[in-house]
Every structure is written in structure tokens, then in C-alpha cells.
A and B are shown apart, each in its own frame.
Chain A
């Protein structure tokens, strides 16, 4: 069984968000982590490795620095790492990203592709399902549990108040939630081994069946006008009232704001 996990190196929002003068994220200046949903997806794949001996390949697209998440994934137990990096791929939105990743995945054999639901920097949740579309695969998104049965995958798909159990024949793509599991730690020996292994680096020329017009900034229909840090809310208003007065006060406020 071959499992491919798509991961993204994202800014560690705990370390503060920094912007370039043009309003885009200054990724080089920020501390980075493996996107949490992707890490859960990787853990799910590693459990399939533990259970069924699956071979786990991790793919990422990004700056050369994104190699770090591949090393981290390998230090957790992934077998191979592929970095897709090329200047012409820069500035990609979700469309161009999913085209790029799909172009890379066409070179690989796989039974299951796992992506995170969404990345904490863009929060679009589009790339995973788009990849499946490009590759003509079924997709099950928002996985909170993944099981394998014969040549099928059985997934609990999360909703606000319930979950659906969905079965799909492999090959297929699953998008994982951070709640799916508690990812394992790297091991010290795993880290030292990960740096002894080679990482495959692919550029534009290695992408299969992708048009230039679908890649990079030029191939991105999305235009970002401006990105900004979260606006801090004021301290708010604090009142000390008894129960009855509190209810009247809150109802008054909600009426004032036309919520009621």
C-alpha cells in the first residue's frame, strides 16, 4: 500500500505574523511549522504504515526552506520526501497550487492521498478537493477517522453535530482534520536519519500534464488585494449587575445592534 501525504510549511502564528511592503506574507521572516491538519494527515498515514506496512511519501510545494517540513515528516517516520520548488511556481493561489501538486502526483504510484483539510495561513480548504478533481479521484473531506477495509477506505466525515461514514474505493483522496489524532513526536534518531536521506527536488519540468497557464502567479485567478494581521479587539465593556439587570442589559444591547 502506498500513501502520499501533502503537507505545507506555514507560519507559526504564535511567533507573530510579518508582512512584506506589498502586503503579502513575509514567509522567510516568520517561524514556521508543519500545518496542523497536514500533520494529523501524516500521523494517519504513519498509523497505516504501522498497521499495514504502508509506504509513506510526503510531498510539499514551497520555497527551498520548505525542505524542513519534509525532514520533520521523515523524522516522524515517513519514508520519502519530495519538494516541489521553482521560481515559476511562486505566487500560486489554490488553483495553481493544486495544479502543481497534481502534476507532481501524476509521477507517483499511490493508493491513498491524504491532505490536511486547510492550512492555517490561507484557510481555504480548497487545495485537497481540487487535487482530487485534477486527478479524477473520489474525495472524502473532513476526515475525523480513517480505516482501511480491503481495497476501500472508510472515513468518518465530520459535521457540526454529527458524522457520516463514507466508504470509497482506492485510489482516492482524503482531507484530514487536526482532530483526527494526536500526531506522534519525532524521535532523536529519526531526526538524525532524516538528514542522512536524500530528498527528491522537482521543478516545473518534472510536473506531468500541466499547462504553464495554470501555474504560478500567472496561473492564479485569485488576486489578493491586501493581507493584514488580526485586528485586536478592544478590552470590551465590563458591567457588574445582578441576574435580572444583566438579562435586561444584554437584551438592550442586542436590540441596539439589531441582533434581536
Chain B
């Protein structure tokens, strides 16, 4: 067992960190405050290859491994949770399912521009009545001649309206399974601008406020027959596979947020004086920091392990669920402690930890709540 990163990964971290410090950090507060999607940053990330890190070179990507990708999301999230999730949703939720299940034509048409960063991607699974219960899908797709006709609504879609390509899950019929009728679910690729595909309201969120979260509305939206992703009826499998990978991205985001909050707190406790001493000299502060750092490091090991598992194992859902569960809960705990150690200043928006605590919360909720992760983990234990 080797816990040393390769030289490639070390250098990649240097790159991600330099980019994050120079291009992302200066805008983080403004992005949060104004709830503006950071388009210029996304354009710069596209130019630097950050939007196709684990995609093979022949499809316009960087040809790196999932670990390098997770490290990118981690370093970006260290300074800005919004920027981290933009990359994560694009890469894990849109590039990955097309790379895994797409036909050669679909890969050439969609994956290449996505991986090059010429187009941005998103994923539509969640509906008002289908959150954790993904089987509760209402959005329907009906084949009419050479076209699928989509009707329904998706909510809470990350990169909504900003993205050009959407992987959308919809019901295509019913199938009999163990004597019971069940929904047949399929996946589709839908382009922005397709008639009948519009956007609803933009959600106003607690954290990751620069990330565009929209409702997707499909009203007799006709897409070409060949935009079915994978086989008819494979939609649930595709969605679950996609979320397994997505969890590694979100785990990396949570890890980055926790690391960022820890860094800020270490700086702060050295500066802040009370009772004539820097507060870092008090044992309470020291013990809190020790606990925070230990958990952050444990989270990092789990996230990296899950990322490596994605590259080396056929099934990595177990590792991804554990990493996401743990990293998200560590992010929430560490950012909460970071605010506490900052005292009153930690509650003021001028200080980064205030934003980080708000950003951390979503990592316990999206791409499978912590409760769902526990279901996935225990199902693996008891199978």
C-alpha cells in the first residue's frame, strides 16, 4: 500500500491550486453575494482543460484519471464551493454517462465538445415527487415516428440554463418485474434550444449561490430518436452509475470546503488575540483544530480511495457512498467549528468561513442525501 501521490498528481495539484488561488478565490465572495454564475471562470477552466480531466484524449479530454479529477474539484472547492460543483456536475453527471453509455456518434457529437469545454453539461433526474425515490419519475418520453416526445419537469438541476447538453431521465413505459408492473426508465440527451425545452425559476439557495440551479420544463419537446442514451429501459441503471461517480465529485467538493475552512481557521487563530494571547495558544482551540485536521485527512484518504476505485474496480459504489457520506459530514462539522473559532467574525459574510458553512450543507443533501449513502452502504454490507 502506497500513500504517496505520483509526481504527476503532485504537479496537477500545483496547477489546480495555482489556478484556484489566482482565478477563483478573488471572485468567490462576489459570486456568492451576487449569485452570478461565474461564466468567465468557466471559460478559463475550459481553456485549461479542467472540463474534461478524466475523459480520454480521443474524445477531447485530458486523458487523466478520476483521482486527478477529484483533486481538481477539491482544490477549486477549497476556495469556492460553487466553482467546484460546476466542474463536478459537468464532468461526473454529463460527460461520464455519455462516455460510458453513448454510441460512437453520440460521443463525437456531445462528449468531444463537452470534454473540450466548448459546451457545458448537466443532468436531470430529480423531480418534485422523485428525489431520493428516483423510481417516482413522472417525466415521460414517448416515441413518435423518428422522435421522442418529452413531457414533464425536473427540479434542482445544477448548471441549469447555463449548460448546453442535458442528460435527462424519463419514463418510457412499463415493464413487468417479478409479477409486478414497474416503470420503465430510460435516459436521453437533450440540447438546450430544442423547441419545447424551457427553464423555470432559478432557485435561491442557502449556499453554492453562484451555481445555477434551475427547473427544466419539457412540453412536447421533440428530440431525435438517436438521442436515447444507452438502451431503452436502462435509464435507472445509467442514473445509478452516474450518481456513483458523481458522489466522488461531491465528496471531493465537501473535502475541499472542509480543507478551506481549516486553512482559514489556522490563519485566524494565529492572528486573533484575546486575553493578551493569540487564541491558537488556548488548548480548546488546539484540540478543536487537531480534531478538524484529523477528520479532514481521514476524509481525504476516503475520497482518494474512492477515486482510485473508480479507475481500478468494476464496482465502486460502496467506496463512493462512504467517501461522500463521510466527507460531507466532515465538511459540515469542520465548517461549523471554523465559524465557532472565528467567534462573531465567523458569522459575518466578510469572512470566508461563513460562506463555507453554508456551502457545506448541500454536500449532505445532493447526489444522494447522507441517509441514501447509509442505505447504499448497508445494502452492500447485507447483500
Contacts and interface: CB of A to CB of B under 8 A. Distances in A.
Nearest to A185: B48
Contacts of A188: 12, 15, 49-50, 53, 62, 64, 68, 72
Nearest to B23: A185
Interface string B47-89: 0111001000100011110001000100000000000000000
Contacts of B50: 188
A124 interface: no
A251 interface: no
Contacts of B8: 191-192, 195
Given A188-B49, A192-B68, A75 B11 contact: yes
Interface string B295-331: 0000000000000000000000000000000000000
A37 interface: no
A120 B196 CA distance: 60
Contact of A72 (B11, B48, B49, B68): B11
B interface, how many residues as a size bin? Answer: 10 to 19
A185 B18 contact: yes
A interface, how many residues as a size bin? Answer: 10 to 19
A189 B49 contact: yes
A142 B19 CA distance: 28
A41 B72 CA distance: 28
A191 B61 contact: no
B209 to A, nearest CB: 27
B19 A185 contact: yes
A191 B63 contact: no
Contacts of A186: 11, 15
A191 B64 CA distance: 9
Contacts of B63: 189, 192-193
B7 interface: yes
Contacts of B15: 75, 185-188, 191
B333 to A, nearest CB: 31
Nearest to A193: B63
6 contacts: A188-B49, A188-B50, A188-B53, A191-B8, A191-B64, A192-B68
* 3 nearest A-B residue pairs (beta carbon): A189-B62, A187-B49, A188-B62
Interface of B: 6-8, 11-12, 15, 18-19, 48-50, 53, 57, 61-64, 68, 72
